[in-house]
Structure 1
Amino acid sequence: MVFGFNNQGEKIMTEKVAVLGAGSWGSILANVLVENGHQVKLWSRNADQVQEMNQDHTNHRYLPNLTYQAGLEATTDMAAAVKDASLVLIVIPTKGLREVAHHLAQVLSASGAGPVIAHATKGLEQGSYKRPSEMIQEEIAPTNRQGIVVLSGPSHAEDVSIHDMTAVTAASSDEQAAKFVQGLFMNHYFRVYTNDDVIGAEFGAALKNVIAIGSGALTGLGYHDNARAALITRGLAEIRRLGVSFGANPMTFIGLSGVGDLVVTATSKNSRNWRAGYQLGQGKPLDRVVAEMGMVIEGLSTVKVAHELAQKRQVKMPITEAIYEVVYNGQDIQQVLADLMTREGTSEVE
């Protein structure tokens, strides 16, 4: 048993943790764990990024104003990153998750290791409609993993980097795994709650990005608080309807991984999904928005998956459908909004 000290000088049991993915969220979660006294290795494919983080303790492309903990070690070698790790946290965009999970499975199989696997990926796989935990289950054999945990909630990396008070959810069907992740991350500014509803946590995390695009578009068009509040509230109803159709607990959607994550993503300039929507609302072409963002805009792919799932499962999602029409069929935003507002009246509880 190895002990260390966190930033508050408290004696803690030190765990070895691997974080796969060195974007803004992956790198800041790794930084939190180092601050908490754990031994963390951060994996990235980008050799220049790894050199920068090890030499200068910066990650300028993603969080240019942050100096990371000196104890955070980055590497391009996944096997070295996960060696003896009790937790492997995957923070990869949805489109790359299966590939990384497959690589991880090979590494774990070769070593015979079986760590807890957690992820902070917020999306759904195109074509298969699989949630991130389902992809991980398919790629990594049960003998090489313990519980699978979803880490989600209202949490911009920029705010965590300045120790803004943050609360998130660790969701897992394995209570002990969820509590393990909770214990690793908890500190005076980062609070973690546990939940057993993986389906709800993952649908909330994915679909809020779609509504955030719509919210940004409203702001770009010049609409104000009333419009955004209406969109967020009715957007949450759509997220809940689709999630519940897959077996999610309705209560999850009024929690941190539901309304909490939706509100922060749909109201903040720190959200790249909101920023993408804002630029669309101002009339900027989609291809230019994507090119200039320089980072993955998860909501753009998720809206396609949500559109297809809504049709397959006959779930009413008019806001999602409207955003899909704008993004994929080039429909005029103002006309789409007019169509939304002039639909036949319905009950709020439908």
Structure 2
Amino acid sequence: MSKQVAVIGAGSWGTALASVLAANHHQVTIWVRDPKLAHEINTTHTNHKYLPDVTLSPLIRAETDMQQVVTGKKIVLIVVPSQAMRDVTRMLAPYVEPDVILIHATKGFEIESLKRMSEVISEEVTPEMAERLVVLTGPSHAEEVVRKSPTTIVVSSASEESMMQAQDVLMNPYFRVYTNPDTVGAEIAGALKNIIALGAGMSDGLGFGDNAKAALITRGLAEIGRLGVKLGANPLTFAGLAGVGDLIVTCTSKHSRNWRTGYMLGQGKKLDEVLQQMGMVVEGVRTTQAAYALSTREDVELPITKMLYQVLFEGKDPRQGVEELMGRGRTFEMEDIVRAQNNFYTF
């Protein structure tokens, strides 16, 4: 059954998800800040800045008026940078229907509060809307989704009904949607994998090869699980699409902004230079800052995150950072797994 859906944000991921919805025969209205981009989407059905060489469905329209975009929609999908989430949610909150299903697809933390995106959104909408809030995450590059490459993702919510509605509106033959009620784990995994992707790219930029990258990804997953479990996540989430699945795709693909950013850092470029060259938000940079603060607050050891924080914000040489990681004291590999199992069995 065709629905009218609002997508808030016309970056690469927002545009790709709008394309999925249009492929499912839904009428999609995208909210954009830039009138020029709205005109481009509506007249040429393109979004060259974020998804070059892609033709968008005529079922997708763009508007700059938030009230016009949101009013009357039963499903609203928010896809904006993490540091803009609170302001954008405040903008849309007065216009959403009382029974709306809010879905967000942003991976990161609010840097000032260290809160997950669902926590930020929940503070700006009614308690009833917050209870139905859905998180969308998992291994997915916009560049592949918009070309209808087979993709699997996860939706997570405390509301089983909301998860099923999100699943129904999004799923199609090339875009498979699973459900998982562990929103904490889904959001922690989706945010922290960007940190590990920075590290994987940096390792590649330094020319360290596949052995080093495999070790970094594997130990990175241990870090993600360690912090996630401390914050209340189900450890099994990190073995699924939201965890190891998203980690693999982000750490191994040149589509990944975070991998590309790390790669250029490994080649000796400075962070400001890299971000200017990227021209788009690189969530892993701010997430590294937030996760480092969370590790201090929660007394959780995150050595890869700490090293990347020092490289990004304290001027540490990337090669020195990796060498210090390799030179750390002896430890037992299964320690994190045993701890996670023990935590799981006490749920």
Q: CA deviation at 1:40?
A: 1.1
Of 155, 158, 170, the residue aligned with 2:155 is 170
- Deviation track 1:251-277 (CA, whole Å, cap 9, x = no partner) reads 000111111111101111101110000
Partner residue in 1 for 2:101? 116
Of 68, 77, 90, the residue aligned with 1:80 is 68
Q: Does structure 2 retain, via aligned residues, the 8 Å contact 1:235–1:319?
A: yes
CA distance in 1, matches of 2:131, 2:99: 6
Partner residue in 1 for 2:42? 54
Does the alignment pair 1:182 with 2:160? Answer: no
Question: TM-score, with normalisation over the residues of structure 1?
Answer: 0.94
Of 8, 12, 15, the residue aligned with 1:20 is 8
CA distance in 1, matches of 2:324, 2:23: 50
Does the alignment pair 1:300 with 2:288? Answer: no
Partner residue in 1 for 2:79? 91
CA distance in 2, matches of 1:127, 1:100: 16
Partner residue in 1 for 2:210? 225
Q: CA deviation at 1:146?
A: 6.0
**Counterpart residue identity of residue 154, structure 1:** P
Residue 45 of structure 1 aligns to a residue in which SS? Answer: coil
Q: CA deviation at 1:78?
A: 1.2
Partner residue in 2 for 1:266? 251
CA 1:244–1:101: 2 relative to 1, 3 Å = same
Does the alignment pair 1:193 with 2:178? Answer: yes
- Deviation track 1:65-117 (CA, whole Å, cap 9, x = no partner) reads 10000111111111111122111000000000000001111223xxx543000
Partner residue in 2 for 1:106? 94
- Deviation track 1:5-45 (CA, whole Å, cap 9, x = no partner) reads xxxxxxxx111110000000001101110110111111111
Residue 102 of structure 1 aligns to a residue in which SS? Answer: helix
Partner residue in 1 for 2:33? 45
CA distance in 2, matches of 1:344, 1:284: 30
Partner residue in 1 for 2:221? 236
CA distance in 1, matches of 2:151, 2:257: 19
**Counterpart residue identity of residue 23, structure 2:** E
- Deviation track 1:53-72 (CA, whole Å, cap 9, x = no partner) reads 00000000000110000111
- Deviation track 1:162-220 (CA, whole Å, cap 9, x = no partner) reads 11110000000100100100011111100000010000000001000000000000000
CA distance in 1, matches of 2:39, 2:306: 44
Partner residue in 1 for 2:343? none
Equivalent pairs counted in the alignment come to 335
CA distance in 2, matches of 1:306, 1:167: 26
CA distance in 1, matches of 2:16, 2:92: 21
- Deviation track 1:270-322 (CA, whole Å, cap 9, x = no partner) reads 01110000000000111100111100010100001111111111111101101
Backbone CA RMSD of aligned residues: 1.0
Bigger drift between 329-338 and 195-204 goes to 329-338
Any stretches of 5+ residues in structure 1 without a counterpart? Answer: 1-12
Does the alignment pair 1:30 with 2:41? Answer: no
CA distance in 1, matches of 2:278, 2:111: 21
Question: TM-score, with normalisation over the residues of structure 2?
Answer: 0.95
- Deviation track 1:97-149 (CA, whole Å, cap 9, x = no partner) reads 000001111223xxx54300000000011121110000110001135566100
Any stretches of 5+ residues in structure 2 without a counterpart? Answer: 336-347
CA distance in 1, matches of 2:192, 2:130: 27
Residues 154-169 of structure 1 correspond to what in structure 2 (within 5 A)?
Answer: 154-169=139-154
Residue 344 of structure 1 aligns to a residue in which SS? Answer: coil
